[in-house]
A and B are shown apart, each in its own frame.
Chain A
Amino acid sequence: MFLNIDEQQQDKLALIDNEDNRVTYGELVGLINAVGSKVEPRSLVFLLCKNTVGSMVGYLGFVEHEAVPVTLNAKIDNDLLTNLLKIYTPAYVWAPFEEAVRLEYEKIYECCGYALLKTGNELYPLNEKLQLCMTTSGTTGSPKLVRYKKGNLEANAKNVAIAFGWTKDERPICDLGMQYTMGLNVINTHLYVGATVLLTTYNLMSGEFWDYIKKERGTNFTGVPFSYDILYRLHFDRMDLPDLHTLSQGGGKLTDARFTQLAEYARKTGKRFIASFGTTETSARMACLPAELSITKIGSIGRAIPEGELFLIDEDGKEIVDPVAEGEMCYKGPNVTMGYAVCKEDLLKDDEFNGEYHTGDLARRDEDGCYYVTGRLSRFLKLLSFRVSLDQSERLIQQEFNIECACSGTDQRMNIYITDESKKAQVLEFIAEKTNLYKTLFKVLVVPEILRNESGKIRYMKMDAMYVG
């Protein structure tokens, strides 16, 4: 069975959520088969995800029975959902009751607060290797999906479990959304070793969240950089958390100061801090830094996970063989996905990555073979860990307002340069709405002109230096 769920201790708790659902591995096997048998094999299913048992049962059931889920946030914007439904015409939608009401499809099954809706769309051919699709971020409303092939998720679950040393005694705190690669990886990895997964929809800054993880005795936590900003704002380092023994990071780079703080905290309290690196295109993790190195290799993502290989290429695309070097970071391994899709015909395409992915990130390799991400080749930011394309943001603003615009920035904030003062407030409103992110993550700067070089290319660095400092 997918993730070997039927080979775990069957009376052991597999999933717990904060809606009072608790299921054992044995019960989970039953639920997987029940929901899986309701869908046609090789059909596409939109999975409106929440971190609950119902959402997980759908995901596992469809994968097990050869249907292909597309993972989306249950709170997805209506226009975006309508657009995706039109583009990919799924045969089914698996949605929590409160979201199912906005879709006028026939309900054919229900389980743990979720409904299986039949859309009436006809099936169409999907590539035989295709197992799951995930949005790259979805924030700029792009219909682009990453195509996962059979074996990706299980290979990553297995190899990450080995690299992190997870056992069945773990009780991971899963608050990162399962529709995203890192959230799903944390869950898969722990099911793979027969642990008890604590799913939660509570917000990290609420009393309920902390009551839940204390009551359910969470043993490890995976956060994106923003999660750790919150944890420190709450002075979590002064909290008594005796059951929590591992803190892990993924989805964007921590500042060196925060990294040091976490490494020090772990050392002082006898806990582990494990930094890692991954992308949607590699079914989450490619690399992690062993806990014992966190204090000496501040800011490093460590080395490739088992069965994987990290390497650097130069500007000509040639592999750099010098041990200590800097270049574009690339990865080979069984967790590299098949490629992208922007329309339903793409779901028939064969493997285009062929096991190798070029990340678009610049990295340095040290004398011990540990990697450090130093910059980015491609033009995107990770705002709150959501990938937001700068070029696409520029295009959206130009089209909407018919004005000149340049976007740059850091993972903390996007800078939007415009020359038309009168559009300042509207641009901010517009981009926040389009990306579904907060206004405080954007700064609109009105400048006399958008600086360009002789060939017409925008001089982002020069403008940042002049106006942002």
Chain B
Amino acid sequence: MKGKTIMSNREKYAQIFKDVFGVNDSELNEKFNFKEVEKWDSFAHLTLISELETTFDVMFETEDILHYGGYLNGMDILKRYGVEF
């Protein structure tokens, strides 16, 4: 690999989940949601939301914070705020 790689939005998105939950890529699939993931408590949720807002420069509405329940559904929410994957 030459020079500095610029991360795609999808990579940045995955990196946030890996940092917050301490998991690797293979675990990030449709099953990665708040019901299945034991570590997904309110502190993880708050950290996740703050990291996403900073990284993608968005400001979530309350309803979207409350329903930000999974790795995949989260991308759909972000798309509504203009983030492209």
Whether A associates with B in a native complex is: yes
Q: Which residues of A approach B to under 8 Å, CB–CB? A: 75, 203-207, 210, 226-227, 229-230, 233-235, 238-239, 384, 438-440
Q: Could you tell me the dominant secondary structure of chain B's interface residues?
A: helix
Tell whether, in the assembled complex, residue A234 and residue B62 are in contact, meaning their CB atoms are under 8 Å apart: yes
A227 to B42 CA separation, bound complex (whole angstroms): 9
Question: Does the CB pair B45–A203 fall under 8 Å?
Answer: yes
Residues of chain A within 8 A of B22, CB atoms compared: 439
Contacts of B65 in A (CB 8 A): 205, 233-234
Say which residue of B19, B20, B46 sits within 8 Å of A205 (CB atoms): B46
Interfacial residues of chain B within 17-44, with CB under 8 A of chain A in the complex = 19-20, 22, 34, 38, 40-44
The docked-state distance in angstroms from the alpha carbon of A239 to that of B65 is 14
**Interface residue B66 (Cβ < 8 Å from any Cβ of A):** yes
Contact between B69 and A384, CB atoms less than 8 A apart: no
B67 contacts A203, C-beta separation under 8 Å:
no
- The 8 residue pairs across chains A and B that have the minimum distance between CB atoms: A205-B45, A207-B66, A203-B42, A204-B42, A205-B42, A234-B62, A207-B67, A235-B62
Q: Chain B: interface residue count, which band?
A: 20 to 34
Smallest Cβ-Cβ distance to B69: which chain A residue: A206
**What separation, in Å, do the CA atoms of A117 and B66 have in the docked complex?**
37
Which residues of A have CB within 8 Å of B62? 234-235, 238-239
B47 within 8 A of A: yes
Per a CB cutoff under 8 Å, which of B20, B46, B63, B67 touches A230? B46
* Residue numbers in B under 8 Å from A235 (CB-CB): 62
Q: Which residues of B contact A207 (CB under 8 A)?
A: 63, 66-67, 69
Q: List 16 A-B contacts (CB under 8 A).
A: A203-B41, A203-B45, A205-B49, A205-B65, A205-B66, A206-B45, A206-B69, A207-B63, A207-B66, A210-B66, A227-B42, A234-B62, A234-B65, A384-B43, A438-B20, A440-B47
Q: Which residue in chain B gives the minimum CB-CB distance to A205?
A: B45
Q: Give A233 to B34 CA distance when docked, in angstroms.
A: 19
Question: In the complex, what's the smallest C-beta–C-beta distance from B33 to chain A, in angstroms?
Answer: 11
Q: Which residues of A contact B69 (CB under 8 A)?
A: 206-207
A438 and B44 form a contact (CB under 8 A): yes
Docked CA distance A388–B62 (Å): 32
Name the residue in B41, B46, B63 with the highest tally of chain A Cβ atoms < 10 Å from its Cβ.
B46
Whether B34 pairs with A203 at a CB distance below 8 angstroms is yes
Assembled-state Cα–Cα distance A384/B43 (Å): 9
